[in-house]
Amino acid sequence: MPEPIQIDEYGNILIKINWKRMLKVLTILLAAWGAYYLPIPGLTEASRICMMIFIGAAGLWITEAIPPFATAVVVVVLNVYLLGQPGGPLGFDGSAVSESYQIFLNPIASPILVLFFGVFIMAMAATKHGLDLKLAKTFIRPFGTKPKMVLLGVILTTALFSMFMSNTATTAMMFAIFSPIFSHFEDRNAFKKALILAIPFAANIGGMGTVIGTPPNAVAASVLT
């Protein structure tokens, strides 16, 4: 049986609380709550609730007061609870809101999300077994040791991997490869700056090359087909 927390330990627990982050969350919640009561003509009860959730989610994503994935879960839960319960929950002013909860849960099984789920699993498997690092080093090696050629190799390799992996995962992988090299240069070194900037830019450019390169590509393809 765990020992009860002593009185003097509560002080240490309070010290560890990130009060700055809590203040951000509280400010965002108040802003979202205030957005609900904005005197905008023509808004229905459901529209006001949607605006409140949108303002809160946008604030949490921008400030990262809580992890982004947690914000996504909160958005789904709030939409289902406030707008999608069977029979419709009551709004804050007592009016009924009767959107179906299926509207908010069906996108979870969207073909686009399933597509990226498979891509993420493939990328994680390659990362776990070190295949991505080995391939990246193999592709970069032929470019030699001259700074310009190394930079070109990094750009092309990053863009190639970003066509089949997420931009974020590709950028993290390339930084992991070159982090030992970065440590040998001063912070103001031009070649170091060029490499650091080239990797994310190349990942973004390469991500536009295929449908699975980045989520907007798949969304656009699903609309056009």
Q: How confident is the model at residue 55 (pLDDT cuts 50, 70, 90)?
A: very high
For residue 205, what pLDDT is reported?
92
pLDDT band for 85, please (50, 70, 90 cuts).
low
Cα–Cα distance between 66 and 103 in angstroms, integer?
26
Q: Where are the domains of the chain?
A: 7-106, 111-224
Q: Strand, coil or helix: what is 96? A: strand
Question: Residue 156: what pLDDT?
Answer: 92
127-176 confidence digits (pLDDT tens): 788 777 777 778 888 888 788 898 998 899 899 988 888 787 788 888 87
Query: How deeply is 61 buried, as exposed, middle or buried, from its count of CB atoms within 10 A (0-12, 13-18, 19+)?
Result: middle
The one-letter amino acid at 25: V
pLDDT score for 174: 83
Among 109, 46, 107, 106, residue whose Cα is nearest residue 78: 46
pLDDT for residue 92: 54
- Note the pTM of the prediction, 2 decimals: 0.55
- Return the pLDDT at 215: 76
Determine what percent of the chain is predicted with pLDDT higher than 90: 17
Q: Give the per-residue pLDDT at 96.
A: 54
